[in-house]
Chain A
Amino acid sequence: MNSNKPTAYNNRLGIKGWVYAGRYTFERYLYLGHRVSGLGLIAYMVLHIIETANRMRGVEAWQGLMALFASWPFKIIEYLLFAMAVFHAMNGVRLLVTELGFFLGKPREPVYPYSTSIKRHRPLTFVIMGLAAMIIILGGSSLFFP
């Protein structure tokens, strides 16, 4: 009977929905940054464990690897990793407190224009992101490019 039933079109955004933050709030961009930096850090961590195991191949192999890491391209990669780690950690602090329901205010009657928990914790967001930027610029640059 229903063999000619029209088929609906699958309108799910897919991975584009993760990546495209468009006209959504600032926090949506932080969500994307947290995800990308997290993926970068876990990939680096696994590589770091494998790469430091090079010590088992002897002094020359280790020293050669350390000399490679002292070169400019690796310094830049290391700095990017440092920036990712700082961003992930600082945004993680924001998520830690807010995901447990703190800094979001109290539930209230919705009166237009609506106040959302996202807007209410934005001062915290800006302070934390400001600190992250300071650490990345000042701490990182003095650390990797003395």
Chain B
Amino acid sequence: MRETRLWSLHILVLPIIAVLLGMHFAVMHYAPVFYGMSVDKAREFSTMIERGKSVTQLVLYILLLAAALYHGLYGLRGIIRELPLTPVLVKVVDAGIITFGLFIFAFGTYVTWWTFSYKIGG
């Protein structure tokens, strides 16, 4: 694929990261300002589970996960591949980053789904 498309995508995900990370900060760190609850309360298990039951939260967190992982791992790939690598190592780095990204994405999605489908009291 043309490098331009990969690079453009790492730019295009920025608005998603900015908005969703802002919301994540508002929920987790600015809870007293936006939700009138203490930070400790916002981080409590029951509050976290209650928040996680929302479909919107499920979708938005998976979207944030995908966007942030793409942006971050594209940057990491850039840094590693700037090192003098053999053609074999280049393939290993590219494949390794894709595999690692997919694994972390799958894991994060599973945790978000686990929270969404958690049965309170069950």
Chain A residues in the interface with B (C-beta under 8 A): 35, 38-39, 41-42, 45-46, 49-50, 52-53, 55-56, 59, 62-63, 66, 69-70, 89, 92, 96, 143
Contacts and interface: CB of A to CB of B under 8 A. Distances in A.
A49 B106 CA distance: 11
A56 B107 CA distance: 12
Interface residues of B, number: 25
B43 A66 contact: yes
B72 A53 contact: no
Contacts of A50: 107
* Chain B interface SS verdict (over half): helix
Contacts of B104: 46, 49
Contacts of B89: none
Main SS at interface, chain A: helix
B69 interface: yes
Contacts, number: 49
Contacts of A69: 43
Interface string B53-77: 0000000000001001100110110
A66 B44 CA distance: 8
B40 interface: yes
Interface of B: 11, 14, 18, 29-30, 40, 43-45, 48-49, 65, 68-69, 72-73, 75-76, 79, 104, 107-108, 111, 114-115
Contacts of A46: 104
A55 B30 CA distance: 21
Contacts of B73: 42
